[in-house]
Structure 1
Amino acid sequence: MKVDIKKVVIGAMAFLALPAAASAQDAKKGEIIFRQCMACHALEAGKNKIGPSLHAIVGRQAGTIEGFAYSDAMKNSGLTWDESNLTQYLLAPKSLVPGTKMAFAGIKDEVKRGDLIAYLKQATQ
């Protein structure tokens, strides 16, 4: 039996690339998911609603938007909103920051959370 190494290597490379392609974040889909956040959050700087403005959220220290009445838990969380913390918070806000005022159950779907974060990174720079 003759094995074509070139085909085996190409096939293996294609197989290994599948999970990365399947898990790519989609900001366009994230924009649609963000619609459920719009009742409480704005993307514009300085525009607080029930929740704080999400303008420049990625890289910002939690609980620091001027003029918004954060819970003590959020103000004292010590979090910086990076992709990892946003992922955990959007999964279960009260688990990451017990005592937060955010009344949101979370987004259980990992792909949807990733898409939403991709949108926030793009839309709030």
Structure 2
Amino acid sequence: MPLRSVRIAMALMLASVCALPQVSPAAEDTSGQQAFNNACRTCHMVREGDNRLGPNLHKVVGRKAGSMPDYGFSSAMKEAGFVWDEERLDRFIANPDEVVPGNSMKPYGGLSSSEERKKIIGFLAQSR
């Protein structure tokens, strides 16, 4: 292959890589909030002290399950005996009954999309 053809091929490859859409951190934040709004906001807020049907999720990562004052958790959640981390949140959002049998999340049955769960967990982790 002549050198000129190699250069043209390389230029086209580099141009195509540069043309790929880039996701900015702001767009990722927005997509996490959007995923949270779509799946969680009916019952939960992330504003500290703003409990609704479900407890607020402000600083949920690192919090002991069922321990936030001023919210009436189910006995199952109060007795869960773990601290929320990203892995446990992922499993819980996917299938709450598997992680904490007897929780009060009905009628929510879980979110199957691992990509949407990842966005939600990223969004919740920012509320530290």
TM-score bracket for this pair, using the shorter chain length: 0.7 to 0.9
* 1:68 and 2:71 aligned: yes
In 2, distance between residues paired with 1:47 and 1:65? 12
Equivalent residue number for residue 35 of structure 2: 33
- Higher relative CO (Cα under 8 Å, sequence separation at least 6) belongs to 1
- Give the C-alpha shift of residue 60 in structure 1: 0.5
TM value normalised by structure 2: 0.74
Aligned residues: 99
1:82 counterpart (80, 85, 103): 85
TM value normalised by structure 1: 0.75
**Which deviates more, 33-42 or 48-57?**
33-42
User: How large is the RMSD of aligned CA atoms in angstroms?
Assistant: 1.0
Larger Rg: 2
In structure 1, what residue type is equivalent to 2:37? Answer: R
**Deviation digits for residues 32-69 of structure 1, max 9, x if unmatched?**
11113112111111111000010101110000111111
Instruction: Give unpaired runs (5+ residues) of structure 1.
Output: 1-25
* 1:111 and 2:115 aligned: yes
Instruction: Give unpaired runs (5+ residues) of structure 2.
Output: 1-27
Percent identity among equivalent residues? 35
CA contact (8 A) 1:53 1:65 kept: no
Equivalent residue number for residue 97 of structure 1: 100
In 2, distance between residues paired with 1:92 and 1:76? 18
- Give the C-alpha shift of residue 28 in structure 1: 2.8
In structure 1, what residue type is equivalent to 2:35? Answer: I
Equivalent residue number for residue 58 of structure 1: 61
In structure 2, what residue type is equivalent to 1:109? Answer: S
Secondary structure of the equivalent of 1:35? helix
Misfit runs of 4+, over 6 Å: none
**Deviation digits for residues 59-105 of structure 1, max 9, x if unmatched?**
10000111111111000001211011001000000111000001211
